[in-house]
């Protein structure tokens, strides 16, 4: 398949594995890239610029295809040493960066000068336009369905993608809620030049997470995610579990006076326990609504090959036949 995204990133299939905290290691990124998609190492998950440099080197040994690094920009008071992270990316020869979180404008010149293509994750049309204006090469348009941070507008991809298509000139991929070929084709129809998948890639053989997590994704229906931290205007979509029920109870009781300190223990620092220890109720962990459409744990190659061949059948078969 050839789209503006495959051209921009020099990849075979317009399928990106989005940056995910504590999941985006070389094992997963290289598997996705080897399958013809774009694998992404999560920068901050590595803990330091030195570790990121090592992870990039490791990924380079595992694939000769393009892969990227995710850099999430946090509020200033918790800012990691971004210039050093960017140096590690540049010196590691990485040519694709997925930015997320706050406005990446301050860091764009350094990256552009090094020939890096930047795709920024946005949950609204106005932020997408801002990303285009400051020079991002592409946008990852992230709908209400997504795991992690959907923003506060609650606009699903069936609306957000065609709205983005009306406004954007740069290419964009559909992010949030995507997991099967029907959705892939729908995203292309809605104007996207590819897809970004997060949760779906956690349920793959190569994802370095505990089997309990993969089993939980298969067991979950589309009704099994919850929105927490809404009163803090830092909404996160997570898998429903006992810890999340507790967060929601605290939020309800505290009302508008709830603070991050009230729920901190339940929403931070739990990923290692959940992902490596498999303690599924250890805290709140990001999960998209697409969990309801995940029914197996294939290799990344089988997942991507299946998406591509089924998308082709859908376009040439079902869609052509209704005309």
Cα dist. 172→13, 161, 297 in Å?
Answer: 14, 9, 27
Out of 10, 83, 316, 317, the only residue in the binding site for a copy of itself (CB under 8 A) is: 316
For residue 119, give the H/E element and its range. strand 117-122
Distance CA 154, CA 63 (A): 37
Looking at residues 248 to 307 of the shown chain, list those that interact with a copy of itself (rule: CB under 8 A).
Answer: 289-290, 292-293
Q: How far is the CB of 113 from a copy of itself (least distance, A)?
A: 32
Number of residues that bind a copy of itself (CB under 8 A): 45
Out of 7, 61, 64, 222, the only residue in the binding site for a copy of itself (CB under 8 A) is: 222
Which of 84-110 are b and which e, b meaning 16 or more Cβ less than 10 Å from the residue's Cβ?
Answer: ebbbbbbebebbbbbbbeeebbebbee
187 forms part of the interface with a copy of itself (CB under 8 A): yes
Q: Which CB atom, from 154 or from 245, has the smaller least distance to a copy of itself?
A: 154
Distance CA 17, CA 23 (A): 11
Q: Which CB atom, from 40 or from 192, has the smaller least distance to a copy of itself?
A: 192
Residue partners of 63: CB distance under 8 A and separation at least 6: 29, 30, 33, 34, 39
Q: Of 33-41, 134-142, 207-215, 312-320, which segment contacts a copy of itself by CB under 8 A? A: 312-320
Looking at residues 2 to 31 of the shown chain, list those that interact with a copy of itself (rule: CB under 8 A).
Answer: 2-3
Cα dist. 110→18, 32, 107 in Å?
Answer: 22, 27, 6
Distance CA 196, CA 202 (A): 13
Q: How far is the CB of 127 from a copy of itself (least distance, A)?
A: 12
With beta carbons less than 8 A apart as the criterion, state whether 9 and 38 touch. yes
Q: How far is the CB of 61 from a copy of itself (least distance, A)?
A: 32
Q: Which CB atom, from 43 or from 231, has the smaller least distance to a copy of itself?
A: 231
Q: Which CB atom, from 282 or from 290, has the smaller least distance to a copy of itself?
A: 290
Q: Of 49-57, 104-112, 274-282, 314-322, which segment contacts a copy of itself by CB under 8 A? A: 314-322
Q: How many CA atoms lie within 13 A of 115 on its CB side?
A: 7
**Interacting residues toward a copy of itself by CB under 8 A:** 1-3, 125, 143-145, 153, 155-160, 162-163, 165-166, 177-178, 180, 182-183, 185-191, 222-223, 289-290, 292-293, 312, 314-316, 318-320, 322-323
């Amino acid at each position: 398949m050839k789209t503006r995204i495959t051209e921009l990133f020099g990849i075979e299939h317009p399928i990106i594995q989005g940056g995910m905290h504590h999941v985006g290691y070389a094992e997963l990124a290289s598997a996705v890239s080897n399958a013809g998609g774009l694998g992404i190492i999560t920068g901050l998950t590595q803990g330091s610029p030195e570790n990121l440099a090592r992870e990039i080197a490791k990924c380079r040994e595992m694939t000769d295809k393009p892969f990227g690094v995710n850099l999430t920009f946090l509020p200033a008071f918790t800012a990691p040493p971004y210039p050093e992270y960017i140096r590690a990316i540049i010196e590691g020869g990485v040519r694709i960066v997925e930015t997320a979180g706050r406005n990446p404008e301050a860091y764009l010149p350094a990256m552009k000068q090094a020939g890096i293509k930047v795709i920024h994750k946005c949950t609204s049309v106005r932020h997408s336009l801002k990303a285009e204006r400051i020079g991002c090469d592409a946008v990852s348009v992230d709908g209400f369905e997504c795991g992690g941070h959907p923003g506060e507008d609650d606009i699903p991809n069936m609306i957000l993608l065609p709205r983005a298509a009306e406004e954007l000139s740069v290419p964009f991929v559909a992010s949030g809620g995507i997991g099967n070929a029907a959705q892939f084709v729908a995203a292309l129809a809605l104007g996207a030049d590819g897809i970004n998948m997060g949760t779906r890639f956690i349920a793959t053989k190569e994802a370095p997470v505990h089997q309990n997590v993969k089993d939980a994704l298969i067991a979950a229906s589309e009704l099994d995610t919850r929105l927490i931290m809404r009163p803090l205007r830092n909404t996160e979509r997570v898998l429903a579990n006992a810890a999340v029920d507790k967060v929601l109870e605290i939020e309800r009781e505290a009302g508008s006076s709830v603070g991050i300190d009230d729920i901190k223990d339940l929403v931070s620092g739990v990923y290692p326990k959940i992902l490596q220890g498999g303690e599924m109720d250890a805290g709140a962990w990001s999960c998209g609504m697409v969990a309801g459409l995940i029914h197996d744990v294939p290799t990344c190659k089988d997942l991507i090959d299946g998406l591509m061949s089924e998308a082709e059948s859908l376009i040439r078969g079902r869609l052509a036949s209704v005309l």
